[in-house]
Amino acid sequence: MAEKRSGNRLAALDGLRLVAALLVVFYHYVALAVPWGHPTATIFPTAHQAARYGWLGVEVFFLISGFVICMSVWGRTVGQFAVSRVSRLFPAYWAGILLTALVVKFWPEVTSLRGWDTVITNLTMLQAGNNTPNVDPVYWTLFVELKFYLIMVVVMLCGVTYRNCLLLCGVWTAAAALAPALKTPLLTAFAMPQYAPFFIAGIAFYLMRRHRPNAVLWAIVILQLLLAQRYIGYRLATNLGQATAHAVPTWPARLLIVAAFVLVGAIALGAFDRIQWKWLTTAGALTYPLYVLHMNIGMTLIHRFRNSVPAPVLLVSVTALMLLLAWLVHRLVERPLGAWLRTTMRGGIDDVRQHVAPRRRHARPAPTVPHQADGDHSRPPTRAYESV
């Protein structure tokens, strides 16, 4: 099957990532009462109405992640994928944990540090698996991402092919649809019914990008768009509270989800390939540091200066400061530490291969094919590999 490949970086996707991050920042700084000390409807009467739906930036992240991770695993080994993810995720994350812990320790205005043992456990990014509190509440999404990576590793072990990615979409859709009814904790934990539609749709969009769109892929995307609507009420209640969730309309959330699907679909089909502005690549690089840094640090600053600086000025200033901090972490931490992690992990993987290779050389030889009698022209069976 012919493949559509693009040598250009998808700058539009980087821009969309920053928009998603800013939506989350907007939600935390404008919709929540915590940093301001009282409900924000009186401070930002108009912006507050829109900010209540900013949590949907997380769903946009998951949609983009499905696309990008499917692209990342293609043609890579599990080791190569692990190196790319660890070197990408951990440097800024470690910086975010340490900076947030210090700010919360010395200025416990919006939250308090629950002990350095919690900070140490958070450094593993596995704290949600053993019920350890997050140093910053936004870290919950990282554990969801890690589970998605494990699912993709299973696909890699089976072989990353067009067919296997389609099988993943089908099996995962079924598991996510059945998990709430079966009430099996392990199935629910990995099927992730609330977020699976976004990851799966992202995978389908990448298959469109890599190959070409067809009825099967569009059916997958439309099905995920419909399934995503099922959990809007749940997500509203989780973020705004049950009473507020019943009082606010759901159509803005539905519209944002549709818009995200349309934009990622347009990017997949090449509608924005001509957009290659360099600043979008920089914007994409700032997205992850901004996400892991902004919440507790930014809300602490807002709470501290809320009575001495006009609210609009404070909001813009703190957001700009968080973008600057994200850029500093990207340049001073992510780049050097990420490069060191890549080099170190690759060396470790090469060392493991050197120790494993001698065992393979002493493995039992394959049985020889018996001599064929005259007139017997049949061939020994061979394994067929399907190329897609």
Concatenate the DSSP letters of all residues of 228-265 into one string.
HGGGHHHHHHHHH-HHHHHHS-SHHHHHHHHHHHHHHH
- What is the chain's mean pLDDT, rounded? 90
382 occurs within a structural domain = no
- Nearest residue to 203 via CA among 265, 284, 275, 154: 265
365 occurs within a structural domain = no
Model confidence at 72: pLDDT above 80 = yes
d(C-alpha 279, C-alpha 55), whole Å: 25
| Domain residue limits at 149 | 11-347
d(C-alpha 333, C-alpha 95), whole Å: 7
Number of Cβ within 10 Å of residue 113's Cβ equals 17
The residue count of the chain comes to: 388
123 occurs within a structural domain = yes
Provide the token pair at 3: 């493949």
- Nearest residue to 99 via CA among 267, 277, 301: 301
Mean pLDDT, residues 6-22? 85
- Cα→Cα distances 338→87, 88, 152, Å: 5, 6, 22
Domain count, the chain: 1
Mean pLDDT, residues 366-381? 41
134 occurs within a structural domain = yes
213 occurs within a structural domain = yes
Mean pLDDT, residues 128-139? 94
Output 302-307 pairs: Cβ under 8 A, ≥24 positions apart.
302/29, 302/35, 302/36, 303/34, 303/35, 303/36, 303/37, 303/109, 303/110, 304/107, 304/109, 306/35, 306/36, 306/37
In tens, the pLDDT along 260-309 reads 999 999 999 999 999 988 899 999 999 999 999 999 999 999 999 999 99
214 occurs within a structural domain = yes
Note whether 89 and 69 are within 8 A (CB). Answer: no
278 occurs within a structural domain = yes
Q: Which residue has the higher pLDDT, 114 or 210?
A: 210
Model confidence at 361: pLDDT above 60 = no
> Is the alpha carbon torsion for 11, 16, 19, 20 positive or negative?
negative
d(C-alpha 53, C-alpha 114), whole Å: 29
362 occurs within a structural domain = no
Q: Which band of pLDDT confidence, cut at 50, 70 and 90, is reported for residue 359?
A: low
List the single range of 5-19, 71-85, 195-209 with lowest mean pLDDT: 5-19
List the single range of 96-100, 248-252, 340-344, 351-355 with lowest mean pLDDT: 351-355
* pLDDT value, residue 364: 53
Mutual angle of helices 251-268 and 215-228, in 10-degree steps: 160
